[in-house]
Chain A
Amino acid sequence: MKRHGKTANFLRSIGEYVLSIGFFILIWFLYTKLNDVPTYILPSPDQVWSSFIGLFTSGLVWGHLWATTYEVMLGFLIGSFLGIVLGYLFIKTDWIKTALMPYLIFFQTAPKIALVPLFIVWFGIGVVSKIILIISMVVFPVLAGMMLGLESIPSDVKNLMKVLKANRWQIFSQVEFQYALPSLFSSLKIGIVQAVIGAIVAEWMSGKQGLGYILTYASSTYETPMLIAGILLTILLGIATYEMVHIAENKMLYWHESKKE
């Protein structure tokens, strides 16, 4: 009975989405048809759709999609790893925190986009400068989330570990990491969105690969249907990568109050 109710709810929320988006597309369609809007200003939904399908059927998009996904994944993984390690070191060792914090604050507050030209000078127009930009956008939120998570451990849990004479690695792997997970995942969700933004922006500025390149190419040649199709694709990539983090969160935080049904 309860299960049935859940499925019905799920279907209804899907229905609401379809209805809402369908309504939007209908207005868009009517607006472009009734006003005779030129295609290079605003193409109709069906033109965008066929361009979207065309990107895939022509096989043109795969390389670009892969390039962007690869950059996002690699940059996100390295950035998160660095963020977690640095967050742990900052909490555990005061002098590292004192030594590195000014640079990290500088790095975080600087508009990273402004650093891209510098990265290109240093690391070339290849994949390296893109990955470095993405890492720089992911590290800080993850670092902050990790620190917050480690600071939220109840003091009696630390006392318990002391009574049990646990070693450093046991304390980290058995207690600290798990306690940090809720705030860590909040920051990873920010990080993955940042990673996609970083990848697209980096691709605008350099190279001939990736979804960002498709966007600049379509824009400069006034192929507006392709431009909007490309934007859709970046949104879908953003949703897909975000959902991957979200699913991992649901799996690993099954015990958390927020996951209570």
Chain B
Amino acid sequence: MESTKYSVVTKNLGKVYKNLLKDDTVALTDINLEIENGEFVSIIGPSGCGKSTLLKIIGGLEKPTSGEIIYSDPENKLGFVFQDSVLLPWKNVRENAEFPLVIQKKRSPENEKRLDELLELAGLTEFSTALPRELSGGMKQRVSIVRALSYDAPLLLMDEPFGALDALTRDHLNLQLLKIWSKTGKTILFVTHSIEEATFLSDRVLVMATRPGRIREIVTIDLPRPRNEDTRNNPRFAELNKYLRELIG
């Protein structure tokens, strides 16, 4: 059955913004996607190509104007990581990560235990009582990822989560994200404006074009896993980057 293999399928998805005085803006048109369970897919493209809009539509934060989305999870539970960590400043690290469990009334001992394991995995255990204002940007984003994973949604959507961080922190977090991904087996959809980041992380990279926002090509990244520092020195890594860069133009 289709629903068991694919985490998300989109069919002819489109988004049009009506304008009062100008012509309508076509933000997205004919988006057909099949994201497999456990897959890591990145979305890249020039600014204004609608990559964030696409992610928001899949995340249920915006409504498409045409087409449909089919989720494998009947409740379409998903985790969303925003560009800014949006931690609640009055809650400490653990309370922030636990927040979804509180909202969804799922604070079972089992879930609490998994939360502690996730915090451990993200290297946050010793900061669990720190307030967000005491954390660096990279640490905040790690908390935000743990929060998105805390309620065990099968699908994780990430909207330029490391865009505001410096290059070193970003590389470090990329490695950590891959570690978390392989441990938890989540399906990840990852929007970024960094070609290298997309290549380094993904199974497939979705390249989008602008005006109207559409899929130009879906590139399979055939780099071996597990990926680590050596991956960046692989000649194939440079080739793929070059190919993607030319695609975006």
Contact = CB atoms under 8 A, between A and B. Distances in A.
Interface in A127-171: 154, 156-157, 159-166, 170
Interface in B72-102: 78-80, 82-84, 86, 88-91, 99-100, 102
B123 interface: no
A174 interface: yes
B133 interface: yes
B86 A156 contact: yes
Q: For chain A, what secondary structure do more than half of its interface residues adopt (helix, strand, loop), or is it mixed?
A: helix
A24 interface: no
A154 B79 CA distance: 18
B84 A255 contact: no
A160 B131 contact: no
B86 A174 contact: no
Nearest to B61: A159
A170 B103 contact: yes
B104 interface: yes
Contacts of B131: 255
B61 A178 contact: no
A157 B103 contact: no
Interface string B118-146: 00000000000001010000000000000
B82 A159 contact: yes
Interface string A241-260: 00000000000001111001
B60 interface: yes
A163 B104 contact: no
* Interface size grouping (class) on chain B: 20 to 34
B38 interface: no
A78 interface: no
Given A255-B131, A257-B133, A260-B133, A164 B89 contact: no
A175 interface: yes
B103 A154 contact: no
Contacts of A166: 103
Given A178-B88, A255-B89, A160 B82 contact: yes
B96 to A, nearest CB: 11
Contact of A156 (B60, B82, B91): B82
B58 to A, nearest CB: 11
B2 to A, nearest CB: 25
Nearest to A162: B61
A163 B61 contact: yes
Contacts of B102: 174
Interface of B: 56, 59-61, 78-80, 82-84, 86, 88-91, 99-100, 102-104, 131, 133
Contact of B103 (A159, A164, A254, A257): A164
Nearest to B153: A163
Contacts of B99: 164, 174
A161 B61 CA distance: 10
A162 B100 contact: no
B199 to A, nearest CB: 27
A162 B84 contact: no
B154 to A, nearest CB: 14
A154 B86 contact: yes
A83 B91 CA distance: 26
Most buried by A among B82, B103, B104: B103
B55 to A, nearest CB: 11
A257 B104 CA distance: 29
Contacts of B83: 156
Contacts of A170: 103
Most buried by B among A154, A163, A255: A163
A175 B82 contact: no
B59 A163 contact: yes
Given A165-B104, A174-B102, A160 B89 contact: no
B103 A174 contact: yes
A164 B100 contact: yes
A157 B86 CA distance: 6
Nearest to A167: B103
14 contacts: A154-B86, A156-B83, A156-B86, A159-B56, A163-B61, A163-B78, A163-B80, A164-B103, A170-B103, A175-B88, A178-B88, A255-B91, A255-B133, A257-B133
A175 B90 CA distance: 10
A255 B60 contact: no
Given A164-B100, A164-B103, A165-B104, A159 B80 contact: yes
Contacts of A160: 80, 82, 86
B72 to A, nearest CB: 17
